[in-house]
Amino acid sequence: MAGMRLDGRVAVVTGGAQGIGRACCEELAREGARVAMLDRNAEAGEAAGRALQEQKLDVLFLQADVTREEDVAAAFARVEKRWGAAEILVNNAGGNTYYDPVRMSGADWDAALGLNLKSAWLCARAALPGMTGRGAGAIVNVSSLHARMTARGMFPYAAAKAGLIGLTRSLALEYGPAGVRVNAVLPGWTRTPPVEAWLGRNGHPEQEERRLAAVHPLGRIAEAREVARVVVFLASDDAAAITGAEIVADCGLSAKYAGQEE
């Protein structure tokens, strides 16, 4: 289709089976990309892949645990065999963590940082040779507003997401001369399955959402597709002059003083 910004480009999205990841797969494919959806949840990934394929979108689901080096290597090898080397990488895989800093074990720490930070490095390491060989590429890391501010009870999520910002800057500096751009998106509250589960935890999801929406300057939380469209922009040539940047997509929440009354 004429006018598609990513026509024919090969994209890999981690944690693509639901939420922001799935929205990224859909929006990238709608812009003409051939998208490999990576997720460790086979059932959810296969269902999401089928649903997008039924929309005539070029999406391939690959089961992979992106915290495991061998899974990452195998997934990228399959992508390259099918379509060629990845030109776009969206490091979206991650998950909230809830640990007491003293009682948390070393194994817990390794698992939390493995999912939220190390996985992004492993996938970047797999994608960069192909990008540098071509002299072009785009990596978008999905961080979080927790990289800048956080809340009690979510240790060490903020540490991992802040680390992802550092990784973004470092890779942007290292690989900018080779034509590879690396940027980060920082979503705030976004309508995803985990957030919807949180809103319904007390049996009053509509009431909880109204309360949450009221603290946002735009009067609502973000939709997953809205975050995904920021990702598409950063992956496209429209963002050719942008690298090492952090783009916040939080409906204005971080622009507001804590406790400010409307």
**98 is known as an active-site residue:** no
Contact 227, 185 (CB under 8 A): yes
Contact 248, 222 (CB under 8 A): no
Q: How far apart are CA 225 and CA 227, in angstroms?
A: 5
Instruction: Determine the distance from the C-alpha atom of residue 148 to the mean position of all C-alpha atoms in its chain, rounded to a whole number.
Output: 17
> CA angle, 49 as apex, 197 and 232 as ends, to 5°?
80
Percent of the chain that is helix, strand, coil (3-state, to 5): 50, 15, 35
32: left (phi over 0), alpha (psi -120 to 50) or beta: left
Active-site residue, selected from the candidate residues 98, 157, 175, 257? 157
Among all residues, which ones are annotated catalytic?
157
